[in-house]
C-alpha cells in the first residue's frame, strides 16, 4: 500500500513538472525585474520574477515603474515609468524575442527590445548596445536614440535613426524630425542600471 502511494505521488509530480515546463516562457515573453513597483499585470499586482506572456498587458500607477527583461537570448531591458500601458505583441519575423506594444507612457530601452506605437511605427534597435527612449500617446509618439541606431518601419517609409537623432509620428502617421531634447528621458532606476550592466558583461 505504501509503495503504491509513493508510485502515484511520483507520477503526479512528473506530470506537474511536465506541465510547468510546457508553460515556462521561452523567447517571446518578458520577466518583471527587480525595481518593479506600483505595476500591474492584467489588473493584478505585478511582482518581480513574474512572466508576462504574449497578449498580456502591463500598466503602472502614477509613481510606478515596471522593469522588464525579455526571455530567450535577445537580452536587453525596458523601464516603463508612471501611467504607462504596454502589451506583449507577437514576435516580428526575423527579430529576436517579442516587441512591446506601448499604448501610452514613457520608456527607456536598452538592447534589442522592439517597440510598436499606436501610430503604426515599429522600432527595431540594431544591436545589443543600442539605447533609446520613447514617449507614447494616442495623438503623438516620439523616439530619441541615445546610443547606436534604431530602424523604424512605417507605412510612410522606413529609415534609420542614429545616436543623437529623434523623430515623432502624429495620429495621422506623419513623421517629423525633432530635437532629442524634445523627448522626455526617463531616469534609469538603480535596478535597471544593474540589469543593463549584467547584460553588457555577458
Specify the 3-state DSSP secondary structure of 66. Answer: strand
User: Which residue pairs, CB below 8 angstroms and at least 24 apart, start in 114-117?
Assistant: 116/89, 117/141, 117/169
In the prediction, which pLDDT does 1 show? 44
Q: Is the Cβ–Cβ distance between 28 and 91 less than 8 Å?
A: yes
Asked, for residue 66, whether it belongs to a domain, the answer is yes
Place of cell 522626455: 184
Measured CA to CA, the distance from residue 104 to residue 163 in angstroms comes to 24
Tell me whether residue 111 is in a domain.
Answer: yes
Cα 30 from Cα 78, distance rounded (Å): 10
pLDDT of residue 3: 45
- The predicted pLDDT at position 148 comes to 97
Can you give the CATH number for the domain in which 57 is found? 2.60.120.1440
Give a yes or no: residue 17 inside a domain.
Answer: no
- Has residue 202 got a pLDDT over 60? no
Q: pLDDT tens digits, residue range 44-59?
A: 999 999 999 999 999 9
User: Quick one: pLDDT at residue 98?
Assistant: 85
Q: Is the pTM of this model over 0.85?
A: no
DSSP string, 110-159: ESS--EE-TTS-EEEESSTT-EEEEEE-SSEEEEEEEESEEEEE-TT--E
18 within a domain of the structure (yes/no): no
The SS3 call for residue 194 is helix
Any domain includes 13? no
Tell me whether strands 100-110 and 115-116 are parallel, antiparallel or unpaired: parallel
- The domain total for the chain is 1
pLDDT at 33 exceeding the cut of 70: yes
| Higher-confidence position of 13 and 43 | 43
Q: pLDDT class for 19, splitting at 50, 70, 90?
A: very low
The answer to whether the CB of 156 falls within 8 A of the CB of 176 is no
Domain of residue 95, residue span: 27-201
Assigned domain for 118 exists: yes
Q: Is residue 168 part of a domain?
A: yes
Whether residue 12 is contained in a domain is answered as no
Q: Is 162 left (phi over 0), alpha (psi -120 to 50) or beta?
A: beta
Residue 36 confidence (pLDDT) above 60: yes
User: Of 1 and 46, which is predicted with more confidence?
Assistant: 46
pLDDT given at position 18:
33
Round the average pLDDT of the chain to a whole number and report it: 83
Percent helix, percent strand, percent coil in the chain, to nearest 5: 20, 40, 40
Asked whether residue 173 carries a pLDDT value surpassing 60, the answer given is yes
Pick the residue with more confidence: 54 or 98? 54
Q: Is the pLDDT of residue 4 over 50?
A: no
pLDDT tens per residue, range 153-171: 998 889 999 999 999 999 9
Q: 73-92, pLDDT tens digit by residue?
A: 667 999 999 999 999 998 76
| CA dist list (Å): 159 to 91, 112, 152, 153, 163 | 20, 17, 5, 7, 13
Amino acid at each position: 500500500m505504501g509503495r503504491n502511494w509513493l508510485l502515484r505521488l511520483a507520477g503526479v509530480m512528473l506530470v506537474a513538472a511536465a506541465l510547468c515546463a510546457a508553460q515556462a516562457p521561452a523567447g517571446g515573453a518578458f520577466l518583471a525585474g527587480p525595481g518593479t513597483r506600483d505595476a500591474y499585470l492584467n489588473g493584478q499586482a505585478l511582482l518581480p520574477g513574474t512572466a508576462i506572456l504574449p497578449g498580456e498587458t502591463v500598466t503602472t500607477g502614477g509613481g510606478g515603474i515596471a522593469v522588464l527583461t525579455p526571455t530567450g537570448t535577445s537580452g536587453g531591458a525596458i523601464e516603463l515609468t508612471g501611467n504607462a500601458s504596454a502589451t506583449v505583441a507577437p514576435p516580428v519575423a526575423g527579430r529576436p524575442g517579442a516587441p512591446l506594444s506601448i499604448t501610452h507612457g514613457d520608456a527607456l530601452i536598452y538592447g534589442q527590445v522592439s517597440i510598436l506605437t499606436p501610430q503604426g511605427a515599429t522600432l527595431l534597435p540594431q544591436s545589443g548596445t543600442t539605447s533609446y527612449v520613447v514617449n507614447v500617446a494616442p495623438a503623438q509618439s516620439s523616439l530619441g536614440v541615445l546610443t547606436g541606431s534604431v530602424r523604424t518601419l512605417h507605412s510612410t517609409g522606413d529609415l534609420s535613426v542614429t545616436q543623437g537623432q529623434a523623430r515623432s509620428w502624429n495620429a495621422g502617421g506623419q513623421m517629423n524630425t525633432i530635437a532629442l531634447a524634445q523627448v522626455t528621458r526617463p531616469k534609469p532606476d538603480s535596478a535597471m542600471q544593474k540589469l543593463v550592466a549584467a547584460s553588457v558583461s555577458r
